Amino acid sequence: MIAVAGHTTVDLRVRPVPRDLQWLGLTTVDVVSLHSGGLVANAGSVIANFGVPVMTLGCIGDDELGAILGDRVRSWATDARLHVVEGVPTSSTIVLVHPSGERTFLHCHGASDDFGTEDVPIATLVDVGVRALHLGYALLLRRLDGARLRSLLTEASGAGLLTSLDVTHGPEMRWEELVPALPLVDVFCPSLAEATAITGLPDRRAAARRLLEMGVRQFVAVTDGNRGCSAATREGWEQDVPPTPVEAVDTTGAGDAFAAAILVSWYRGLDWPQAARVASWVGARAATTIDAVRALPGWEEAVSASIG
């Protein structure tokens, strides 16, 4: 089983939205749709789609959006553990999607701000057979930053779990707080913007190498949208993985799908180079529709399409 823990939100996705959106007027769009979002739902649903048991750990509000989100997560999670926070709204995000598939976010922190180390009982995870912990979004979880993040990752590593950390890019991020946690992380798959913010290096291959030098223990992939990714391992392997040509509709959740595919590949015994190719294909496919999971086939077809 793989545990996905942390940011849990409801997404209201609006598409298409022009870059020069005019205020004080009416703009018509083609789609306004409600989705489960955040790391827990985005990555967890992809892991479940590929047939791997998944535990979800997050916080939701005691409101209508929380009820909807809880029902949706429970529909695919093997073990859904969502803490209902009384008197607090469910975390929510308005996602404005450009015709190119690129997007911007308007986010209300909500109940995810209450998520802390007590919501990730490592001993319980081990008891029920969890083998990997995928945690995020670091720096956006206000009660799980700095020393508390390091403490949780230390406990997970000590219990023998593979640790995977995810981040998100934004003006509020305090990147210097993340650096001390990297030596406690086995798998790290930031976007190029995120990797550059952490390392100061705009070249994705150089940034991947630098993240390993900063302590990431096994595997790094720096994703770069429709330009593919650069991946590297502690053992010295590195490669630019070419993109899978697709027509992007909505890139929301594509990075989460990429990370989920890396973890499923590891869980199913593929090596890291194979995992990078599978994940690149999965991430691209996830961008071809407004609901990433609906774009994805089963595991065997994904592997066949990406590595033969």
d(CA 295, CA 213): 36
We report the CATH number of the domain holding residue 271 as 3.40.1190.20
Nearest alpha-carbon partner for 59 in 74, 43, 70, 44: 70
pLDDT digits (tens, 9 = 90+) for 30-53: 989 999 999 999 999 999 999 999
Mean pLDDT of the chain, nearest integer: 94
**pLDDT, position 23:** 82
* DSSP codes, 12-36: EEEE---TTPPSSS----SEEEEEE
Please check the confidence at residue 308 and state whether its pLDDT lies above 80.
Answer: no
**pLDDT, position 304:** 96
**Pair 218, 187: CB distance under 8 Å:** yes
Mean pLDDT, rounded, for 232-259: 92
Mean pLDDT, rounded, for 50-77: 98
pTM for the model stands at 0.94
pLDDT digits (tens, 9 = 90+) for 180-224: 999 999 999 999 999 999 999 999 999 999 999 999 999 999 999
Please check the confidence at residue 171 and state whether its pLDDT lies above 70.
Answer: no
Domain count, the chain: 1
pLDDT digits (tens, 9 = 90+) for 109-163: 999 999 999 999 999 999 999 999 999 999 899 999 889 999 999 999 999 999 9
Which domain does 57 fall in, by range?
Answer: 2-118+125-307
261: enclosing H helix or E strand: helix 254-267
Please check the confidence at residue 170 and state whether its pLDDT lies above 80.
Answer: no
In sequence order, what are the residues at sequence separation of 6 or more whose Cβ sits closer than 8 angstroms to the Cβ of residue 197?
169, 173, 175
**Banded model confidence at residue 5, pLDDT cuts 50, 70, 90:** very high
Please check the confidence at residue 14 and state whether its pLDDT lies above 80.
Answer: yes
